[in-house]
Amino acid sequence: MVGDLAGFDYILAIERAHDHAQLRASLVNAYRHIHPMLLVGRITEALILAELAAMYSLTIDYPARQSVRHLNARGWRVPSLFRQAAAWLSDKIAKAVTVPVEYEFGRRPEERAPRVAKAAQLDTAAKLVRKVEADAAAAVPLDETKAELRQLLRELGCEPKPIASHPIITEEVQSRFARTRETILDLDFYRAAYPYWRYTATLDERTTLGCRALHGLTMPAGDPKWVGFIPPRHWRCRAHVEAVVHSEGVRAKKTSPAGEYAGDGTFGTLNDEWEPKPGSYPEDLWAIYKEAKGIQSPHIEMDGAWWRKERPAK
């Protein structure tokens, strides 16, 4: 759970306002003075934990002894495996001197956290301001608006001990978990033992049509058809890929993805270049966000087609 202490400033702003116009102005002012650094630190920690959790989940799903057994079954004798592993490792070490390391724990979290913090804070400010605007237009009593704003702050994780993290942060943590799993399962060692991937959705009343349709989809790990279908594919997606052994992979029935379910085009967090869209926010808030980020021209979220981004060839 990641809480944003900016909630205190908002609560002060809410308490002091005497009418809707003043309320709106003081919320914007509170947003202007937010320092994202504390939230950035917390998001970084949450994302690193997500990476470690992904790593841990893999050691549970694929115990080393079992993985070695599958390697043996596929003709990867252990001694030769070790020879190859040693060769692979020394090769990596040799290369590491000259090329950047491909995956490093904590690197992504540090890069992403500031962006995520600022996006979450902009979103929170926008939701508060919009609420005030709507209530002012509908002549809702001020006290009622204030009570609802406090509730909104709780829902958006603007509390020292929040009941939920901001949805953008939750999404990012979940993606980091799924992405880390995918990255590790993509390593030569895992690909050799578990050459097939299976789309695995959490099935209940919240499962989306797409995830229901894709549940069980099994294809070779390196199949280019996976592009656009690697979970998470949409907001609040709880699906992930499971790696399966060869004998299980070839027996699979669902071996081709239903094209209409290629990741939701507007699902932004998978896109590394993702930024909030200027048109989606009140202009004064956007101006503050832009200035804080040192953005010269507004970044525009790339709609659709992001999933066509090539996966690294193996």
Beta bridge partners of residue 198, listed in sequence order = 218, 242
| Distance in angstroms (rounded) separating the CA atoms of residues 192 and 187 | 9
Provide the minimum distance between the beta carbon of 100 and Zn ion in the complex, in angstroms, as a whole number.
32
Q: Does 239 bind Zn ion (CB under 5 A)?
A: yes
* Cβ neighbours of 96 (radius 10 Å): 11
Beta bridge partners of residue 240, listed in sequence order = 200
Provide the minimum distance between the beta carbon of 171 and Zn ion in the complex, in angstroms, as a whole number.
12
Beta bridge partners of residue 242, listed in sequence order = 198
Provide the minimum distance between the beta carbon of 304 and Zn ion in the complex, in angstroms, as a whole number.
18
Among the residues of 62-158, which ranges form H helices?
A: 64-73, 78-96, 107-137, 142-155
Q: Does 217 bind Zn ion (CB under 5 A)?
A: no
CA 131: distance to chain centroid? 27
Q: β-pairing, 196-200 with 240-244?
A: antiparallel
The tokens describing 25, both together, are 């102005």
Provide the minimum distance between the beta carbon of 239 and Zn ion in the complex, in angstroms, as a whole number.
4
Q: Does 211 bind Zn ion (CB under 5 A)?
A: yes
Tell which one of 17, 23, 237, 262 touches Zn ion (CB under 5 A).
237
Q: Does 23 bind Zn ion (CB under 5 A)?
A: no
Residue that the structure tokens 């909630």 belong to: 7
| Shorter beta-carbon distance to Zn ion: residue 38 or 213 | 213
Q: Are 120 and 4 in contact (CB under 8 A)?
A: yes
| Shorter beta-carbon distance to Zn ion: residue 115 or 176 | 176
Q: Which stretch binds Zn ion (CB under 5 A): 20-28, 123-131, 158-166, 211-219?
A: 211-219
DSSP state of 263: S
| Shorter beta-carbon distance to Zn ion: residue 174 or 180 | 174
Beta bridge partners of residue 157, listed in sequence order = none
Q: Is 104 left (phi over 0), alpha (psi -120 to 50) or beta?
A: beta
| Shorter beta-carbon distance to Zn ion: residue 39 or 239 | 239
Q: Is the peptide bond before 224 cis (omega within 30 degrees of 0)?
A: no
User: How many residues lie near Zn ion (CB under 5 A)?
Assistant: 3
CA 130: distance to chain centroid? 25
Provide the minimum distance between the beta carbon of 230 and Zn ion in the complex, in angstroms, as a whole number.
11
Provide the minimum distance between the beta carbon of 270 and Zn ion in the complex, in angstroms, as a whole number.
12
| Distance in angstroms (rounded) separating the CA atoms of residues 299 and 9 | 28
The DSSP-derived string for 180-192 is HHHHHHTSHHHHH
| Shorter beta-carbon distance to Zn ion: residue 125 or 211 | 211
Q: Is the peptide bond before 232 cis (omega within 30 degrees of 0)?
A: yes
| Shorter beta-carbon distance to Zn ion: residue 239 or 262 | 239
Residues 153-192 as x/- pattern, contact with Zn ion by CB under 5 A: ----------------------------------------
Q: Which stretch binds Zn ion (CB under 5 A): 108-116, 208-216, 244-252, 293-301?
A: 208-216
Q: Which stretch binds Zn ion (CB under 5 A): 15-23, 90-98, 233-241, 290-298?
A: 233-241
| Shorter beta-carbon distance to Zn ion: residue 181 or 293 | 181
Q: Which stretch binds Zn ion (CB under 5 A): 87-95, 162-170, 206-214, 266-274?
A: 206-214
Provide the minimum distance between the beta carbon of 98 and Zn ion in the complex, in angstroms, as a whole number.
40
Binding positions for Zn ion, rule: CB under 5 A: 211, 237, 239
